Structure 1
Amino acid sequence: MKTFGLFGGAIALALALSSAPAAAQKDPPITLDTHVDIPFAYMHEARFDFGKPTPMQVDLDKMRRGGLDAVFFIVYVDQGPLTPAGYAHAVAQAKRKYDDIDLMLKTYPNDIRLATTPEQVRANKAAGKLSAMIGVENGYSLGHDIKNLDIAYKRGARYVGLAHMGNNDLCTSSTPEADLGDTPLPEYGLTDFGRAVVKRDNELGIMVDVSHSSDICVREVLALSTAPVIASHSSARALDPHPRNLSDDLLRAIAAKGGVIQAVAVGEFIKLDPARDMAIKALQAQVAKQAGDKSFDSEKHEYLPAYIDGMKRIDAVFPPATVDEYVAHIKHMVQVAGIDHVGIASDFDGGGGLGGWSDATQTRNLTAALRKAGFSDDGIAKIWGGNLLRVWDDVTKRATAGHAG
């Protein structure tokens, strides 16, 4: 196992630097966030236009002001029925999100560029441009057709998450859903289709993402994959026993295969706070009812004044998890997996956000918190993007399909 990444007298220097204003501190070479969600109305409504002032946690101005260089924008679909109609709907939803990301890139070519290789991320940074990458959350969007994985690659996807909330046709989820007919305990790990997806990912040079997957699925992926594996947004189960987080054994196993675990900045996965969770669920039910809907829809309801004001009241009574508590997860993960195997994922616009790192404008606050926790500049550079870029490069080099890159 690698050491914690502290370099003698650098500890005192890092602590001294942490007292300076965040914006005055040295930025890492590249700040890369592996998980930022987009709404289905992305780029089609002014409030979701990347280049305009928006209520979103990530947009052009917020990235520029906060010093966030590169983002994996997420092609996400809800888990639905494993039927021809369900698969067709999922494929259509995924296509819409690919199209929306394309529209954003075409609308703002002087500000942000697609990156499909680590080299392009570095070149964009050198040219003063932001980088947009694409990750897939929930392999259900492949529509149970391996050909759609090749299409995803051609559209720019460079990691594919096998599952989300609820079991699917690739593998079991860390959070099975009774509404979908799931049993509490996994009856399987990877399916035959899931194994085919992992193998084709390896051939194409797509990173296999095990976040949201059940423990048994993660272990089977690690045994099967011929390339390093990532967890695009998962924190430490040892500090917060949520099933979405990863055990120390799994952290070590992913690292042993050369992979990287991107700690996720979702309060629920950083510290247990049942009272806060209950208050939020009650608010969501109330806001949905006021809007005339049966259930809460984040895209429809999260930006309503009633929800925004309600969350302010909840935050005052039940303070959210803080950036320092998030860094405690990162520190633990580094101690377990090694400094070369941990990274950062905000899950902004998908439930992420902490006290002190509530949107992309506060990116430097996280860097300052890492320094305060004793990480060296070299360690911070690895965590903020270097590790993910190394793994991505390794996965690309191992590809055998002949057109990776």
Structure 2
Amino acid sequence: MKRFNILVSAIVLALAFGGTASAAQQDPPITLDTHVDIPFGLMHDPRFDVGKQTPLQVDLDKMKRGGLDAVFFIVYVEQGPLTPEGYKHAMEQAKQKYDAIDLMVHTYPDRIAMATSPAQVRANKAAGKLSAMIGVENGYSLGHDIKNLDEAYKRGARYVGLAHMGNNDLCTSSTPEASLGDTPLPEYGLTDFGRDVVKRDNELGIMVDVSHSSDRCVRDVLALSTAPIIASHSAARALDNHPRNLSDELLRAIAAKGGVIQVVGVQDFIRLDPARQLAQKALQAQIAKQAGDKEFDSEKHEYLPAYIEGMKRIDAALPPPTVDDYVKHVKHIVDVAGIDHVGIASDFDGGGGLAGWNDATQTRNLTAALRRAGFSDQDIAKIWGGNLLRVWGEVEQHATANHGKR
């Protein structure tokens, strides 16, 4: 009877914290998500004070409840014109996000701390604190000045994504933007400035991130980088033929270099559903029009009751991919690249979210799905954080070992 009561208590506790009955099993040693976006209003807009209840998919309470230990918060700027004015605006936007992350950790020092090394992630975990790390999405925010990469490192950036949607001054994107004057060809790969960035990343100990980069750019980075590289948020093209995803050839090549592919939890990259895409775009256009705006702005419109209710109707009629669909991508990458070369990236608050894993409180649901797919606790520890921490450490050691050669 005593055993039964203990089991029931464990199940109730797991369910109360946003997980499933399987969550009663032991959590992985460290759970680390490499891609969580932040709004420009983070910590300044009361809605986005992450120490309180927020509409965000990731805040401090949701991380603690779900058992998510560490997050790379993203300094993202949208691709714009390759002009002095464009670079200036991008750098100003990036500074706003660096400052917001600083404000978060300084406002809640007892709950979350910055981590600029794998050792600090482990130390924060041992001290009962969450870890905040910084990743840069879109090297456009470097302002075409290599000195700004050193400044990004000083501010805590430990991976830098070369591109986003649209070609830039570092490399071609996997999704050229006609509105920026891009054409699918020529696919020029890394530029001279892009090469300088990769080389300086290696020297500083910053992980080079090829998510969003074109196939040619990924190949160029693999040939140039002297340290392992990462794809901070990409899935398998063999399962979802989207240009944002990576081919089996590139998965193997990243693994052969010692790197890691962090599987992204965005619906379109897990399972293409054109009808759902059209329905969501129609809803976004409707909500923007009702608000008197020309275009949908996720930070402004995504949290409106009308949009939330509209998405509920879409989810009922055209269900999104599930956490088990996501794990199929994990399994495919393990089969192709090996268990030591795959990790987790939600892309929460930037388009991520799946049935069963739609915010940080449901972290344990993903762990349970990995167990259902046959992964051992040792495998899950690697997938949830061990692999990324290993690669990060190797990039760090590579920079230290080569310091005297510069």
Aligned to 2:106: 106
Within 2, Cα distance between the matches of 1:402 and 1:342?
27
Partner of 1:269: 269
In the alignment, the residues of structure 1 paired with residue 330 and residue 187 of structure 2 have an alpha-carbon distance, to the nearest angstrom, of 32
1:126 has 2:126 as partner: yes
Secondary structure, counterpart of 1:96 in structure 2: helix
Partner in structure 2 of residue 219 of structure 1: 219
Say if 1:20 and 1:135 are closer, same or farther in 2 by CA, change over 3 A. Answer: closer
Q: How far apart are the structure 1 equivalents of 2:78 and 2:349?
A: 15
* Matched residue type, 1:24: A
> Which residue of structure 1 lines up, in the alignment, with residue 87 of structure 2?
87
Q: Identical aligned pairs, as a percentage?
A: 82
Q: Where does residue 26 of structure 2 map in the other structure?
A: 26
Moved over 4 A (4+): 400-404
Q: Which moved more, 1:21-30 or 1:64-73?
A: 21-30
Answer whether contact 1:167 1:177 (CA < 8 A) is retained: yes
Q: Report Cα offsets for 1:347-401 as digits up to 9, x if no partner.
A: 0000000000010000000000000000000000000000000000000000059
Q: Does 1:165 align with 2:165?
A: yes
Q: How does 1:106-255 map to 2 (within 5 A)?
A: 106-255=106-255
> What is the distance in 1 between the residues matched to 2:200 and 2:307?
42
Letter in 2 for 1:113: A
My pick for the range that moved more, 392-401 or 278-287, is 392-401
Alignment-mate amino acid for residue 318 of structure 1: L
Measured at CA, do residues 152 and 20 of structure 1 come closer, stay the same or move farther in structure 2, by a change above 3 Å?
closer
1:273-308 C-alpha deviation (Å, 9 max, x unpaired): 000000000001111111111111111111111111
Query: Cα deviations across residues 204-225 of structure 1 (Å, max 9, x unaligned)?
Result: 0000000000000000000000
Superposition map of 1:373-384 within 5 A: 373-384=373-384
Counterparts in 2 of 1:403 and 1:124: CA distance versus 1, 3 Å:
farther
CA contact (8 A) 1:203 1:401 kept: no
Give aligned pairs, total. Answer: 386
Deviations 1:328-358 (A, max 9, x none): 0000000000000000000000000000001
Equivalence map 1:262-341=2 (5 Å)? 262-341=262-341
Which structure has the higher relative contact order (CA within 8 Å, separation 6+)? Answer: 1
Residue 363 of structure 1: aligned partner: 363
Cα distance in 2 for residues equivalent to 1:132 and 1:218: 27
Q: Return the alpha-carbon distance in structure 1 between the equivalents of residues 102 and 290 of structure 2.
A: 35
SS at match of 2:73: strand
Distance 1:37 1:403, change over 3 A: farther
TM-score for the superposition, normalised by structure 1? 0.94
Query: Which letter does structure 2 place at the counterpart of 1:86?
Result: G
Question: Which amino acid is 1:237 matched to?
Answer: R
Amino acid of the residue matched to residue 323 of structure 2?
V
Alpha carbons of structure 1 residues 27 and 186: separation in structure 2 relative to 1, 3 Å = farther
Whether the 8 Å contact between 1:186 and 1:214 is mirrored in structure 2 is no
Q: 1:402 deviation in Å? A: 8.0
- Corresponding position of 1:14: none
The residue correspondences of 1:18-97 to structure 2 (distance < 5 A) are 21-97=21-97
Q: 1:50 to 1:186 in 2, by over 3 A?
A: farther
Note the residue ranges of structure 2 that are not aligned, 5 or more in a row.
1-18
- What is the deviation of 1:46? 1.3
Contact 1:204–1:401 (8 Å) recurs in 2: no
Could you say if the C-alpha distance between residues 130 and 288 of structure 1 is closer, same or farther in structure 2, counting changes exceeding 3 Å?
Answer: same
Counterpart of 1:353 in structure 2 is: 353
- Per mean C-alpha deviation after superposition, the further-off stretch among 395-404 and 85-94 is 395-404
Q: How far is the alpha carbon of 1:23 from its aligned partner?
A: 3.0
State the shift of 1:184 in Å.
Answer: 1.7
Q: Tell me which amino acid in the other structure corresponds to 2:89.
A: H
One-letter amino acid of the structure 2 residue matched with residue 390 of structure 1? R
Distance (whole Å) between structure 1 residues aligned to residue 401 and residue 232 of structure 2: 23
Q: Is the 8 A contact 2:279 2:314 kept in 1?
A: yes
Rate the CA distance shift 1:116–1:320 in 2: closer, same or farther, 3 A: same
Counterpart amino acid of 1:386? G
Code of the residue aligned with 2:208 in structure 1: it is V
8 Å contact from structure 2 (residues 118, 392) kept in 1: yes
1:186, CA displacement in angstroms? 3.9
Amino acid at match of 2:379: G
Q: Which runs of 5+ in 1 are unaligned?
A: 1-18
Which residue is equivalent to 1:3? none
Give the structure 1 partner of residue 4 of structure 2: none
What are the Cα deviations for residues 247-266 of structure 1, in whole angstroms up to 9, with x where unaligned? 00000000000000000000
Give me the whole-angstrom Cα distance separating, in 2, the residues matched to 1:402 and 1:345: 30
Alignment match, 1:5: none
Secondary structure of the residue aligned to 2:188 is coil
Q: Which amino acid aligns with 2:260?
A: V
Please, what TM-score do these two structures have when normalized by structure 2?
0.94
Distance 1:370 1:236 in 2: 17
1:22 Cα deviation from its structure 2 partner:
3.2
**Deviation string for 1:65-98 (max 9, x for gaps)?**
0000000000000000000000000000000000
Tell me the amino acid that sits aligned with residue 229 of structure 1: I
What amino acid maps onto 1:358 in structure 2? Answer: N
Structure 1 CA distance for aligned equivalents of residues 20 and 260 of structure 2: 30
Q: Secondary structure at the match of 2:158?
A: strand
CA contact (8 A) 2:20 2:365 kept: no
- Secondary structure of the corresponding residue to residue 399 of structure 1: helix
